[in-house]
């Protein structure tokens, strides 16, 4: 979670794992769920419009980008 009072870990994979577990437990109430879902939607639309990128690849890329931005602003 993007909380300024909590120190961030040095390992991105551990931070992402913790965040994804929190999103799975918290559902839509978790503060990272909505931005990541919006990023996935934007990526899916971009994947559908671009000729080289497919819809699933765009979805994963958009969600991954937003998750990264939540972890490392």
Query: Hey, is 1 helix, strand or coil?
Result: coil
CA atoms within 13 A on the CB side of 50: 14
> How confident is the model at residue 35, as a pLDDT?
94
| pTM of the predicted structure, to 2 decimals | 0.78
Q: Output 16 or 6, whichever has higher pLDDT.
A: 16
How remote is the C-alpha of 8 from its chain's centroid? Answer: 16
Render pLDDT for 14-69 as a digit per residue (tens, 0 to 9): 999 999 999 999 999 999 999 999 999 999 999 999 888 899 999 999 999 999 99
CB 23 within 8 A of CB 30: yes
DSSP helix/strand/coil, 15: helix
Q: For 17-46, give the secondary structure using H, E and C.
A: HHHHHHHHHHHHHCCCHHHHHHHHHHHHHH
* Structure confidence at residue 7 as a pLDDT band (50, 70, 90): low
């Amino acid at each position: 979670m993007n909380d300024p009072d909590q120190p961030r870990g040095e390992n991105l994979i551990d931070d992402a794992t913790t965040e994804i577990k929190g999103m799975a437990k918290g559902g839509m109430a978790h503060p990272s769920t909505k931005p990541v879902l919006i990023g996935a939607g934007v990526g899916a639309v971009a994947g559908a419009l671009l000729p080289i990128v497919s819809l699933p690849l765009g979805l994963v890329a958009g969600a991954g980008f937003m998750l990264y931005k939540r972890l490392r602003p």
